[in-house]
Amino acid sequence: MRHIFTISALLIISLLHSQTHRFMYELQYKMDSAEAGYEKLNMILDITPKEVKFYGQHLAITDSLNKKFGMNSSHTDMSGQVVKRKTSSFDHENFINIKNGYYSFKTTDKINWKISGETKKVDNYTLQKATAAFGGRNWTAWFCKDIPFHEGPFKFRGLPGLIFELSDTQKNFMYHLVKSRKLPGMYSTEDFLESNFGNKAIPINEKQKYKLIMEFYNDPFAFERNNFSKANSDLKININGKEIHNVDELNTQTKNMQEVIRKYNNPLEIDKAVHYPK
């Protein structure tokens, strides 16, 4: 493990009775499977007696700053891994930003693990190996029976202990547990998970999700295009630092954005990846 942390025997016992148990994972992932470099994010796993939630740390940080200083900032989580579920359930509510909206959709994500007898020592913990196929990828997890939670990052759960390490065989996604803490009371996520900083999640189904994604892909600058159609010829729009003067220049930016979307189309659940036209 990259960072050493300890959980005392007293804490392990208290985990069974306290309110919110937070485990932080470092996620390394490839936006483009053909590239060697990784992006890094800190992801939070919150476990309460009734619910389990997984989301990016920056969502919680932004929410905390808003409440502390009376700010009105927002943050868009780009991990594609914001979910919540009932404890001991494989039924998930997924949250996603598409275009200018915030949406939720439900999935059932059963994982059938094969537990190996292979073990290894990490710090003072004995971890045991397990493998599974999920999302069109093959995965290896290392879990600890001494931590009394059958949970792990994202949708990975169901092992007889907490997952410490997780990666797919192609090393596109790698998780390492780096920190744990106990929070007093129930930690509220209603302002940044169930709602995204003022935008309450709109329930949709998979068909509606696909339609919204394709609408954005086909015209990612629809709002700007509408402004051009209404304004006079002197209108100038800034897109990613470039000044756009007319529809032809906007069409060029649209093609560039579509290339970026196709290039970085490497979701964790690759079997559900959108196949964009060129």
DSSP three-state, residue 3: coil
C-alpha to C-alpha distance for 202 and 194, rounded to whole angstroms = 9
pLDDT at 4: 40
Taking only the tens place, the pLDDT of each residue in 135-145 is 999 999 999 99
Low-confidence ranges of the chain (pLDDT < 50): 1-5, 8-13
CA 266 – CA 135 distance, rounded (Å): 12
Look at residue 232 in the predicted model and tell me its pLDDT: 55
Among 49, 10, 5, smallest CA distance to 24 is for 5
Q: What is the pLDDT of residues 170-194, one digit of tens each?
A: 999 999 999 999 998 889 999 999 9
Q: Is the model's pTM score more than 0.85?
A: yes
Secondary structure class of 17 (helix, strand, coil) = coil
Kind of pairing between the strands at 114-122 and 101-108: unpaired
Contact 95, 201 (CB under 8 A): yes
List of domains in the chain: 9-199 (2.50.20), 206-272 (no CATH)
pLDDT value at residue 241: 79
3-class DSSP state for residue 105? strand
Q: What is the pLDDT of residue 13?
A: 46
